[in-house]
């Protein structure tokens, strides 16, 4: 990990055997030159002014950390060592005026990610930059570019405290321009492209994703109406392996989305507002693995809202919504990240029309009443459904010396159709906050039953809770503990149930602290190129391809400690252990990772002495598979400079 010629160095191999230097020669040469030049001007840095003026109109500021590190790495028993410069600087400046042209360039090389969950497992390098043009005019614009080499990321598992460590590259470019002429419609155009590749430690498979985004947005005021409209186009090409279900076959997807929207808002008597909105989305989707598939579809939605206040204590609201497709029910995180989606046309026609009326009334200073009525008509798979819901809600806040602080709300929902009442739903929320025998205690519990989501034929339930307690034990000594969890699912589809629980405690004594946690989660998720995404309850069967669904279980525990034994010396260390298994639908895949992480930093004026240690043991695959083991450490010295 060195910038010096012939110095021994080690870099974790990128996915697919691509070296970190690939496509990076020009920037690496530039960084070498910049850091070498900075080393030459260190002696001149202190007497320089805080800002450098180049010519009559250019102003520059350069600051950052420059240092020297000695590093070591043990990867599957193969060790390597190296030493060299590291840098993390920021160059800002403007030409003529900050409102005319201003820019920021932030290169970094051999940066130690001591603030990352997975520590400094690789010699991370890259650059982020941006430039703003004519920000003080009617035609402002901006340009941005970023590139990250050998970065460490997390392959996410829903509701899990510790995911799987992965590494890879990413880069992005964006340009934006606006027209902001008074009394004319505004227009802002933005175009962005990006790409990323990653691989989970312990797996040879690689995931890649390429994004292209175009966004147009316009606003205008006409005859008291505030109008805005927009168009968004996005294409995503993704290639990834469903490594957690044991499938060796890579998945390749191509998704194209178009979205059109128009909104109008106008004031209404009695301090009210009126608004209407139209939205249209269409998409095309191609899916390739051992099977090939194609899907396409479109959806239109139209909505209107009216809210006003006839009296000080009474507020009324009315709304109407119409939709003609299930497309709007699929979460964007799933649809835009390569998850196979079943052809909507094969699911038949879906139409939904709903009207609502709400009334809020303040009966007492701490008692609020809410009543609502809703009518919904739906058509799905050749069948029509209709229901009318009536609901009442009372929210009462009570403060009393004996009870501490206590509040609750309760809603009762009655659903009816032409045959009569079809069900009774309940939504409740309970809050508690009180000091008990020296403990500061707060808690929240919420529960909902039979709350409608997409289709009338579904019955859903969900509950969640959070409890925290804090106590002062002695002078500058505190103990805190918390417990939280959630449970949700579709009652008529047991496999869609999901749950998560977490316990955490913290003990602080002066400048010392100790934290411990335990968590577990279970549920159904969909594969994407960046991890597992929880499938929300309420989606009808068959919307998401069964090949993309996976049942997961995850457990994790760990602890961390930090201390400042002497002034300006900070030490922290942590340990985390997580394991899980997935079933898709009969094949089990097991994951396990153990992470040790420790860092030290001592500050002497502007000079920092740094040290760090990270060890990762991670396995992915069948039970008993040998884990990959990576150990890294570094010691070094750095100094913060404000060059000019």
* Residues 391, 412 contacting (CB under 8 angstroms): yes
Report long-range pairs for 436-445 (Cβ below 8 Å, ≥24 apart): 436/404, 438/471, 438/472, 439/469, 439/470, 439/471, 440/469, 440/470, 440/471, 441/467, 441/468, 441/469, 442/467, 442/468, 443/467, 443/468
In angstroms, rounded to a whole number, what is the distance separating the alpha carbons of residues 310 and 265?
A: 20
* Residues 581, 588 contacting (CB under 8 angstroms): yes
Say what the pTM is: 0.71
pLDDT confidence of residue 73: 79
DSSP 541-586: TTSB-GGGEEEEEEEEEEEEEEE-SSTTEEEEEEEEEEEEEEESSS
In angstroms, rounded to a whole number, what is the distance separating the alpha carbons of residues 281 and 327?
A: 8
pLDDT < 70 regions, the chain? 1-55, 76-77, 111-120, 156-163, 202, 241-250, 289-291, 326-349, 381, 395-405, 410-425, 450-460, 489-497, 527-531, 533-548, 583-588, 622-624
pLDDT confidence of residue 402: 47
pLDDT confidence of residue 120: 63
* Residues 214, 232 contacting (CB under 8 angstroms): yes
Q: Give the list of residues 6+ apart from residue 615 with CB closer than 8 angstroms, or none.
A: 594, 595, 596, 597, 629, 630, 631, 632
Q: How far is CA 402 from CA 266, 451, 566, in A?
A: 48, 35, 45
pLDDT confidence of residue 527: 65
In angstroms, rounded to a whole number, what is the distance separating the alpha carbons of residues 313 and 172?
A: 52
In angstroms, rounded to a whole number, what is the distance separating the alpha carbons of residues 599 and 117?
A: 12
Name the β-bridge partners of 616. 595, 630
Backbone angles phi, psi at 15, to 5 degrees: -55, 140
* Residues 526, 339 contacting (CB under 8 angstroms): yes
pLDDT confidence of residue 215: 97
pLDDT confidence of residue 260: 95
């Amino acid at each position: 990990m060195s910038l010096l010629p012939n110095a021994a160095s080690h870099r974790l191999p990128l996915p697919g055997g691509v070296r970190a230097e690939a496509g990076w020669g020009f920037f690496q040469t530039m960084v070498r030159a910049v850091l070498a030049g900075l080393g030459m001007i260190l002696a001149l840095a202190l007497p320089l002014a805080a800002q450098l003026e180049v010519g009559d109109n250019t102003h520059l500021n350069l600051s950052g950390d420059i240092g020297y590190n000695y590093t070591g790495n043990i990867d599957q028993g193969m060790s390597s060592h190296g030493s060299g410069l590291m840098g993390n600087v920021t160059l800002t400046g403007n030409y003529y005026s900050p409102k005319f042209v201003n820019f920021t360039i932030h290169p970094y090389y051999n940066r130690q990610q001591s603030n990352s969950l997975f520590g400094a497992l690789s010699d991370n390098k890259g650059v982020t930059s941006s430039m703003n043009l004519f920000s003080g005019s009617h035609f402002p614009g901006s340009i941005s570019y970023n590139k990250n080499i050998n970065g460490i990321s997390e392959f996410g598992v829903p509701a899990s405290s510790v995911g799987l460590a992965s590494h890879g590259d990413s880069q992005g470019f964006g340009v934006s321009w606006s027209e902001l002429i008074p009394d004319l419609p505004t227009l802002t155009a933005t175009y962005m492209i990006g790409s990323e590749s990653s691989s989970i430690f312990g797996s040879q498979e690689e995931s890649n994703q390429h994004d292209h985004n175009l966004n147009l947005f316009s606003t205008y005021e006409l005859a008291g109406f505030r109008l805005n409209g927009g168009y968004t186009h996005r294409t995503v090409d993704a290639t990834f392996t469903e490594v957690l279900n044991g499938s060796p076959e890579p998945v390749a997807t191509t998704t194209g989305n178009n979205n059109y929207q128009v909104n109008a808002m106008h004031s209404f008597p009695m301090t009210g507002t009126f608004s209407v909105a139209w939205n249209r989305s269409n998409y095309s989707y191609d899916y390739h693995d051992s099977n090939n598939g194609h899907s396409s579809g479109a959806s239109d939605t139209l909505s209107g809202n009216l809210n006003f206040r006839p009296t000080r204590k009474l507020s009324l609201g009315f709304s109407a919504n119409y939709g003609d497709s299930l497309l709007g029910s699929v979460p964007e995180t799933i649809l835009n990240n390569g998850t196979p989606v079943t052809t909507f046309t094969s699911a038949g026609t879906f139409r939904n029309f709903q009207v609502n009326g709400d009334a809020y009334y303040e009966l007492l200073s701490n008692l609020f009443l809410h009543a609502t009525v809703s009518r919904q008509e739906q058509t799905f798979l050749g069948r029509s459904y209709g229901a009318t819901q009536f609901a009442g809600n009372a929210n009462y806040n009570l403060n009393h010396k004996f009870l501490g602080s206590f509040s609750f709300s309760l809603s009762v929902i009655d659903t009816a159709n032409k045959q009569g009442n079809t069900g009774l739903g309940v939504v409740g929320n309970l809050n508690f906050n009180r000091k008990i025998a020296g403990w500061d205690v707060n808690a929240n519990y919420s529960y909902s039953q039979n709350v409608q989501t997409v289709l009338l034929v579904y019955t859903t339930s969900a509950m969640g809770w959070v409890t925290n307690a804090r106590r002062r034990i002695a002078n500058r000594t505190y103990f805190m503990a918390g417990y939280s969890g959630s449970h949700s699912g579709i009652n008529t589809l047991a496999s869609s149930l999901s749950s998560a629980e977490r316990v955490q405690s913290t003990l602080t004594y002066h400048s010392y602290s100790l934290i411990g946690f335990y968590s577990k989660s279970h549920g159904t998720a969909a594969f994407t190129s960046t991890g597992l995404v929880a499938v929300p309850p309420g989606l009808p069967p068959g919307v998401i391809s069964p090949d993309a669904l996976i049942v997961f279980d995850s457990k994790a525990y760990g602890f961390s400690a930090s201390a400042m034994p002497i002034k300006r010396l900070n030490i922290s260390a942590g340990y985390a252990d997580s394991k899980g298994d997935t079933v898709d639908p009969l094949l089990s895949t097991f994951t396990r990772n153990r992470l040790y992480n420790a860092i030290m930093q001592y500050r002497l004026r502007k000079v920092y002495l740094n040290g760090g240690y990270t060890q990762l043991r991670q396995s992915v695959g069948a039970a008993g598979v040998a884990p990959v083991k990576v150990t890294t450490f570094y010691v070094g010295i750095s100094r913060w400079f404000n060059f000019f």
